[in-house]
Structure 1
Amino acid sequence: MTRQERADHVLKRLGQLYPDPPIPLDHTDAFTLLVAVLLSAQCTDVRVNQITPALFKLGNTPAKLAEAPLEDIMAIVRPCGLGPQKAKAIKELSGLLLTKHQGQVPASLEALEQLPGVGHKTAQVVMAQAFGEPSFPVDTHIHRLAQRWGLTTGKSVLQTERDLKRLFPKDSWNKLHLQIIFYGREHCTARGCDGTVCEICRTCFPERQKAKCNRKA
């Protein structure tokens, strides 16, 4: 298979498996999504969804979280890991949204990336899921799968992002990054698949399976 043929197979198969993938982080608007994605760094979506109800009860708008005591925010988000940094970023970005963006989350990748605690991946998730702008957020898990499936040889998530954007139609990006995440969690985990176990790995690289069988013989 060529790289493009592998990409075409991935797109078709993931479309069959996950025709309408949900956004895994609970939220009600662009602001609560932004905060949830920020909290998800080095933390599971399940844990974030357990924590955000209490946080959004404290404040679910930039105005309310900008006024909330930092200690109260920190006490809630601490189980996510990096609690002090995340709490400070949430309070500071809430204030900046008020002073620079009329209390609204900006629909601009560049403006989002200038907010405290908001990196490139977080900004792309918000652009994709809150505003419907074509984006392809690549985290370490998508980076790993793209390498395993022979879709990139990139050494960084940014290079992988560029490679994936070249391989897949622009109108598939927003859904596809979620489909890859769900497939990776359910079928192609870091420990559960070594590139020869799951269906996509076996289809994209049947020679790996043969080599594995020969080693066991």
Structure 2
Amino acid sequence: MPRPLIITDCDGVLVEFVRPFTDYLLAEHDLTLSLETFALAGNIRDAAGNVLPVADFPPLLQGFFTTHMPRQRAVAGAADSLAQLAGYCDVVVLTNIADIHADTRTGVLRQLGMPYRVISNQGGKGPAIRALLDEFQPSASVFIDDLPPNHSSAAKLAPDVHRLHMVAEHDLRHLIPAAPDAHARIDDWADALPHIEAQITANVGAAA
């Protein structure tokens, strides 16, 4: 029998991003991050207070993933919740990073107690989610992500997946409105786990 499938984002859902990225910017580049809006690009300033050009952001992000990914820490409850789900579900981490960082991300997650398959992605996640559903043919499926556009992409190409909007980092919650194309918004794993389990039970029961 096919198993349920959990497809989850990584940064801001499984591991903290904002705090280690802020530390990296200051220590390595003497830059500061001021979260006045959700967009990271446009909120980075140099020592004189000047906003860094948006074009300078991608190299900084790649530098962080190259050198500081091992410094990321697990979001509270993420590892235990996924471990419980993995007892009867397949779990895949779908993360928007360059392909060259996928092996490092896999190793870091394993060290944090999350030894799951990692798929690197760029852009909207709908095509990758569709491909995973075609591969696994799951009895039920749940997609978890912190970015509203990814839920819109999933809704368009994989409308049957249950879409859970989770912003696990406290510093970002007030900056990201509820995703209009998600089925629910839950920002911590303690509340998300029973919600996910209920969705799986309901969907599997409906398909039986």
- Which TM-score band (shorter chain)? under 0.3
Q: Which has the higher helix share?
A: 1
Name which one, 1 or 2, has greater alpha-carbon Rg. 1
Bigger share in strand: 2
Highest relative contact order (Cα 8 Å, sep 6+), 1 or 2?
2
State the TM-score, normalizing by the size of structure 2: 0.27
